A and B are shown apart, each in its own frame.
Chain A
Amino acid sequence: MRLYVYCLAEGVDRLHQTLRGVSDAEVRIVELEEDLSALVSVYRSDDFQISRKNALAHHEVVRSITEQTTPLPTRFGTVVTIEQLRNYVSTHHHAIKAKLAHVRGGVEMNVRMIQSIAAADTSREPEDAGGPGTAFLLEKRREILRDEAGAAQKGQLSAWLREKLGDFIKEEKISITPSETVILARADHLISRADVQEYRTKMAKAVEERPEIRFMVSGPWPPYSFANIELEFSSQFGVS
């Protein structure tokens, strides 16, 4: 029997009676180790589709227990056998417990930022770049300069956000996607659930200081961006 896994959590003792999971399946609590459990449905491959409806059902199951506890949401489409699930939890027990302790009582907030690249952008090169070799090298140069600009922007944004929101941020992840004309940045913040309103207020004030940047703030979310143990391993040991 295969299980579709929604999340791992501590202290889950009840589910909403009307709660349904992917493919309208019943959601169950599987007790694992100590007070650690997983929310799962029996997976039937002939019923399951990669669809918006199922993706939203996944989120609804995760969200349904956030009043009881702070879960570690699994990524959409996680299907395992019960043996694999127990083996995973057993082998990652300490990391899972540490991660749950880290996110406990917390929520995720996201800030998307879009900034135009200045007119003096280095991507502007003469139309006639010569032969294919020269064009290739120019393109590589543009890529390198974009990456450098992105890294610099990432540091600046992080410092600025820390200055404005530092009291609230338990953990921050920033990613930058520079393109020819804009820099797309995303900051994920883990904060206490009790601080959501104040976070929004401070963020709204911060936004006013940076008219050159377009912002979109969303949340609160279950801590999707702070749930992955493998990423933590990767960051610590430099391998994935």
Chain B
Amino acid sequence: MSDFDQIIVGEEWENTDLSLLETLDHVLNRGLVIAGEITIAVADIDLIFVGLNVMVTSVETANEVLRKRQATE
């Protein structure tokens, strides 16, 4: 188990990698699904993998952020 710890992320974290990954997770994996002509049909598969990568990476990034923070404390 890593040293993943409590992180409060808000709008003030906009420019951090963590906030970026959280944003991507919301945009790619959530939201209203409208059955349309495309709904980026080519992305149906790709986005699943993109989403998984975002999830995995977000945890890794969170750990890295914490390590850096703890190193400076």
Q: Are A84 and B37 in contact (CB under 8 A)?
A: yes
Q: Min CB distance, B41 to chain A, in Å?
A: 9
Cα distance A96–B61 when bound, in Å? 36
Within the complex, which residue of B10, B24, B32 is in contact with A218, where a contact is CB–CB below 8 Å?
Answer: B10
> Is the Cβ of A74 less than 8 Å from the Cβ of B33?
yes
Q: Which of A140-198 contact B (CB under 8 A)?
A: 181-182
Chain B residues closer than 8 Å to A98, beta-carbon distance: none
Q: A239 interface residue, CB < 8 Å from B?
A: no
Chain B: CB-nearest residue to A88: B34
Q: Does B71 contact A (CB under 8 A)?
A: no
Alpha-carbon gap, A58 to B50, bound state (A)? 16
| Cα(A98)–Cα(B48), bound, Å | 29
Taking CB as reference atom, which chain A residue is nearest B59? A114
Q: Are B50 and A73 in contact (CB under 8 A)?
A: no
Interface contacts (Cβ under 8 Å), in number, total 139
What are the residues of chain B within 8 A of A219 when measuring CB–CB? 9-10
Chain B 1-37, CB-CB to A under 8 Å as 1, else 0, gives: 1001111111100000001101110111111111111
Give A197's nearest chain B residue, CB to CB: B10
Task: Kindly provide the distance from the CB of A154 to the nearest chain B CB, expressed in whole angstroms.
Answer: 18
At the interface, is chain B mostly helix, strand, loop or mixed?
Answer: mixed
Q: Tell which of B10, B20, B42, B50 has the most Cβ of chain A within 10 Å.
A: B10
| A216 with B43: CB separation less than 8 A | no
Which A residues are in CB contact (< 8 Å) with B8? 200, 203-204, 217-218
Cα A7 to Cα B34 in complex, Å, equals 10
Q: Which residues of A contact B30 (CB under 8 A)?
A: 73, 75, 224-225, 227-228
A42 at the interface (CB under 8 A from B): no
Instruction: Name A215's contact: one of B6, B29, B38 (CB within 8 Å).
Output: B6
Q: Which residues of B contact A52 (CB under 8 A)?
A: 20, 24
Per the bound structure, the CA–CA distance linking A236 and B55 in Å amounts to: 28
Q: How far is the CA of A107 from the CA of B55 in the complex (A)?
A: 21
Q: Is A135 an interface residue (CB 8 A)?
A: no
- Asked whether A229 is an interface residue with its Cβ less than 8 Å from the other chain, the reply is yes
Within the assembled complex, what's the spacing in Å between the Cα atoms of A110 and B18? 13
Contact mask B27-67 → A, CB, 8 Å, 1/0? Answer: 11111111111111011001100100000000100100000
Task: Say whether A69 faces chain B, with CB atoms less than 8 Å apart.
Answer: no
By a CB distance below 8 angstroms, the chain B residues around A217 are 6-9
User: Which residues, 50 to 77 on A, are CB-close (under 8 Å) to B?
Assistant: 50, 52, 55-56, 58-59, 72-77
In the complex, the answer to whether A77 meets B43 with C-beta atoms within 8 Å is yes
The 7 A-B residue pairs with the shortest CB-CB distance in the complex, in nearest-first order: A77-B40, A80-B36, A224-B30, A75-B31, A218-B9, A79-B38, A227-B32
